[in-house]
């Protein structure tokens, strides 16, 4: 199955940044794809420059199978811009680049809202405003988007329903395995059309050593989870910030990719690496968050 995600790009700047990180053997491959990164989305003009993202060749999601899936939207346009995952009734996790300006500074939360409990990208679902945005303090949009993760505080809690339920944050790191992915990203690039229904599929994770056979090691951090690497199976424009779920837990957040599903691995924020930071911010943002953070701490396996 294919997938893809999305992002705004500034091609000359992107070319310079990526050329610094590509190995000599990978640079020719990168130069063949760089023109594809020109594609942008008007409603995300505040987002940082980055590669493309979306789910390619996916299936229409089964109703109620992804109750944690969230659509992040902007202003009055009601247009889907990024995915996110509901991790408590009051908090979501998404990519930092979805809610940041070109510096590690959060946008005004009043300019963002989420829609939950829906499959359609056109109508339906529960609309909830954001009250606060927390971006990882070491998020670096100018350096391969390291620490690309953010926590969103909702203005009102989401009640549990058949189609609205949180997903646990990863309690252990993931191995090489198949994981579930979902999103409203484009099916191919170039395209100005998002799918009308939530798309879903399966993508396999890989080791860092395998990933740096495709990308330079300076691009792949310990907090980067590489996924895919099979032509026709990847993320694309509109999938950014969306969840990768392994073993029933939130293991990854879509960060960057080579548009779209061109056979190179996609980069995700490795949620387990940010587990403590996510829980600390959830706890700091609300009483309910403190309860969930305490539950998460109690469930974490003890270290030998």
| Active-site option among 97, 118, 136, 187 | 97
Q: How many CB atoms lie within 10 A of CB 178?
A: 10
DSSP H or E stretch at residue 51: none
| Active-site option among 53, 148, 239, 266 | 148
| Active-site option among 200, 223, 240, 255 | 240
| Tokens standing for residue 136 | 């990882």
The CA angle 27-95-160, to the nearest 5 degrees, is 145
Report the alpha-carbon distance of residue 98 to residue 149 in Å, rounded. Answer: 9
Any catalytic annotation for residue 240? Answer: yes
Any catalytic annotation for residue 178? Answer: no
Give exposure, 23-50, as e/b (b: 16+ Cβ within 10 Å): beebeebbeeebebbebbbebbebbbbb
Any catalytic annotation for residue 97? Answer: yes
- Contact (CB, 8 A) for 210 and 226: yes
Report the alpha-carbon distance of residue 300 to residue 289 in Å, rounded. Answer: 16
Q: Which of 169, 161, 85, 99 lies closest to 126, judged by CA?
A: 161
Q: Give CA torsion, residues 100, 243, 258, 39, to 10 deg.
A: -50
Q: Catalytic residue positions?
A: 97, 148, 240
């Amino acid at each position: 199955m294919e997938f893809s995600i999305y992002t705004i790009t500034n091609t000359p700047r992107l070319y310079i940044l990526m050329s610094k990180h590509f190995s000599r053997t990978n640079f020719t491959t990168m130069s063949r794809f760089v023109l594809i990164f020109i594609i942008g989305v008007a409603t995300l003009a505040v987002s940082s420059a980055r590669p493309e993202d979306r789910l390619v060749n996916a299936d229409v999601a089964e109703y109620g199978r992804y109750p944690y899936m969230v659509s992040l939207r902007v202003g009055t346009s009601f247009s889907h811009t990024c995915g996110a995952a509901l991790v408590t009734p009051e908090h979501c996790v998404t990519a930092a680049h979805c809610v940041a300006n070109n510096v590690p500074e959060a946008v005004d939360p009043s300019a963002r809202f989420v829609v939950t409990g829906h499959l359609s990208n056109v109508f339906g679902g529960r609309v909830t405003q954001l009250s606060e945005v927390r971006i990882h303090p070491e998020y670096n949009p100018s350096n391969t988007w390291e620490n690309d993760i953010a926590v969103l505080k909702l203005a009102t809690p989401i009640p549990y329903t058949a189609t609205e339920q949180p997903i646990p944050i990863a309690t252990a790191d993931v191995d090489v395995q198949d994981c579930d992915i979902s999103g409203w990203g484009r099916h191919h690039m170039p395209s100005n059309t998002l799918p009308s229904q939530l798309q879903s599929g399966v993508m396999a994770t890989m080791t860092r050593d395998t990933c740096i056979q495709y990308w330079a090691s300076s691009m792949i951090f310990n907090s980067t989870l590489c996924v895919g690497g099979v032509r026709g199976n990847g993320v694309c424009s509109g999938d950014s910030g969306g969840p990768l779920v392994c073993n029933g837990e939130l293991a990854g957040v879509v960060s960057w990719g080579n548009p779209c599903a061109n056979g190179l691995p996609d980069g995700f924020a490795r949620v387990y690496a940010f587990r403590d930071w996510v829980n600390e911010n959830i706890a700091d943002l609300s009483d309910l968050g403190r309860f969930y953070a305490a539950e998460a701490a109690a469930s974490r396996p003890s270290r030998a």
